[in-house]
């Protein structure tokens, strides 16, 4: 059986950057520049920019989403935001379990698992992040850690639910450091994630689930990473803040065509 042709995704994660005005003008300029790209273009923007950015992106290839949410429907949770509110603002997806959330805000895999289930239930697409720290990497524990995270964050999900989930493998040692995983290391970890998905959910889900790579993605390394069989997309932090570098990454496919 051949490799399934999974749709590819390029996702920008702005983290805590950009005002409404900056976000709207970025989206306005981005839309015509990525019109002919074959891949799906997603942008995870700050909460305040979701509505205006989604309005600007309407009818285009660009899909707007959020970077976090709470697992409760509503309630006395000062400073938190619910799935329904994100959808109301125009978000179509949400990043969950990013290593910065795990590290700075002490989010556990169990909490992330509840958020993933809530996001699916409310109709959002969930981008679930996993990845080992540099100490774990050096101790040769990458697979063990990623398996633990995948097993706990996807606990209780079935094949149907997985149609609303994408995984992003983001080695913490590669995030914001300029120290990208080599395409070979990334591919090996992606194959491993697929093996775990087969155990945790089933074989079908392991085949159709998109597994993205994140961690110091740049225009210079995007193409090589995307050429790997099991890399179905990229989660781009720092390089998504500049229109020029993000567009270069998104259009890596077009570059490939011109080259060959
Ligand atoms: P980076 O961030 O591209 O700046 O390394 C990636 C991420 O945290 O999603």
Per-residue DSSP letter, 58? T
Q: Which two tokens stand for residue 234?
A: 């990229």
Ligand 1 atom 2 nearest Cα: 237
Cβ–ligand 1 distance for 171 under 6 Å, the answer no
Which pLDDT score is estimated for 253?
Answer: 62
Q: Mean pLDDT over residues 77-93, rounded?
A: 98
Which pLDDT score is estimated for 259?
Answer: 38
Classify the phi-psi angles of 224: left when phi > 0, otherwise alpha if psi is within -120 to 50, otherwise beta. alpha
Backbone CA torsion sign across 254, 125, 102, 113: negative
Ligand 1 atom 6 nearest Cα: 237
Output the pTM of the full model: 0.95
Q: What atom in ligand 1 is closest to the CA of residue 216?
A: 5
**148 assigned to active site:** no
Tell me the pLDDT of the chain averaged across its residues. Answer: 94
Nearest CA among 40, 21, 19, 107 for reference residue 69: 107
Higher pLDDT, 252 or 200: 200
Which pLDDT score is estimated for 1?
Answer: 45
Q: Which of 3-7, 151-155, 206-210, 220-224 has the lowest mean pLDDT?
A: 3-7
* pLDDT tens-digit map of 105-116: 999 999 999 999
Which pLDDT score is estimated for 255?
Answer: 61
* pLDDT tens-digit map of 115-153: 999 999 999 999 999 999 999 999 999 999 999 999 999
Question: Could you write out the DSSP letters of every residue in 103-124?
Answer: HHS---HHHHHHHHHHHHHHT-
For the sheet containing 233-236, what is the strand order? 62-65, 40-44, 9-13, 233-236, 211-214, 165-169, 125-130, 93-96
């Amino acid at each position: 059986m051949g490799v399934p042709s999974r749709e590819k995704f390029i996702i920008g994660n702005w983290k805590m950057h950009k005002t409404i005005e900056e976000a709207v003008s970025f989206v306005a300029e981005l839309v015509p520049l990525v019109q002919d790209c074959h891949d799906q273009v997603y942008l995870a923007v700050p909460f305040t920019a979701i509505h205006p950015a989604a309005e600007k992106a309407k009818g285009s290839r660009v899909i707007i989403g959020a970077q976090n949410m709470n697992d409760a429907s509503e309630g006395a949770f000062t400073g938190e935001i619910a799935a329904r509110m994100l959808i109301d603002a125009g978000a179509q997806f949400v990043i969950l379990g990013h290593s910065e959330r795990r590290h700075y805000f002490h989010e556990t895999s169990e909490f992330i698992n509840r958020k993933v289930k809530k996001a699916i239930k409310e109709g959002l697409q969930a981008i679930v992040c996993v990845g080992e720290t540099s100490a774990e990497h050096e101790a040769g524990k990458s697979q063990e850690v990623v398996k633990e995270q995948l097993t706990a964050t996807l606990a209780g999900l079935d094949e149907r639910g997985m149609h609303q989930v994408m995984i992003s493998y983001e080695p913490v040692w590669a995030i914001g450091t300029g120290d990208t995983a080599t395409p070979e290391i990334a591919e090996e970890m992606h194959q491993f994630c697929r093996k775990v998905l087969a155990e945790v959910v089933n074989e079908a889900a392991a085949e159709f689930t998109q597994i993205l790579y994140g961690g110091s993605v740049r225009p210079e390394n995007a193409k090589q990473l995307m050429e790997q069989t099991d890399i179905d997309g990229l989660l781009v932090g720092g390089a998504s803040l500049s229109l020029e570098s993000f567009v270069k990454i998104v259009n890596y496919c077009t570059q490939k065509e011109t080259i060959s």
